Amino acid sequence: MTDIDWTKALCLGCDREMWFVEGSTSDANADRREAKTTCLRCPIRSGCLDSAMAEEDGKGESGRHGIRGGLSGRQRFALSRRLPGAQPKQGRAA
Ligand code: SF4
């Protein structure tokens, strides 16, 4: 994997809680949107997402925490299902 210069992360110095907010209140949703918007402007977003996908390889949705590379854990899980070599969903015909 390419070296990532984490010192360029736009979330550095931010309220990191926004990247790990739980629940679906309007405040929680606003925090998530703000975190994702920050990620979209981040110069290392691609590397951040690649890193998350590599670290979380093989994990289910519940094993993916926080927003990384602009995607929630649920979105990263959905992305992992579309990648080459993804296992078919359990309980469904292949
Ligand atoms: S993409 Fe988002 S989570 Fe990743 S380093 Fe940048 S601001 Fe932080």
Q: pLDDT by residue (tens digit) across 39-91? A: 999 999 999 999 999 999 999 999 999 999 999 999 999 999 998 877 666 54
Which residue owns the Cα nearest ligand 1 atom 5? 9
Tell whether ligand 1 has an atom less than 6 A from the beta carbon of residue 70: yes
Rounded to an integer, what distance in angstroms lies between the CA atom of residue 61 and that of residue 44?
23
For a ligand 1 pocket test, name from 5, 11, 31 the mutation site with the most ligand atoms within 8 angstroms of its C-beta: 11
Predicted model pTM: 0.87
Q: pLDDT by residue (tens digit) across 29-41? A: 999 999 999 999 9
- What are the sequence ranges of the domains in the chain? 10-82
In ligand 1, the atom with minimum distance to the C-alpha of 42 is: 6
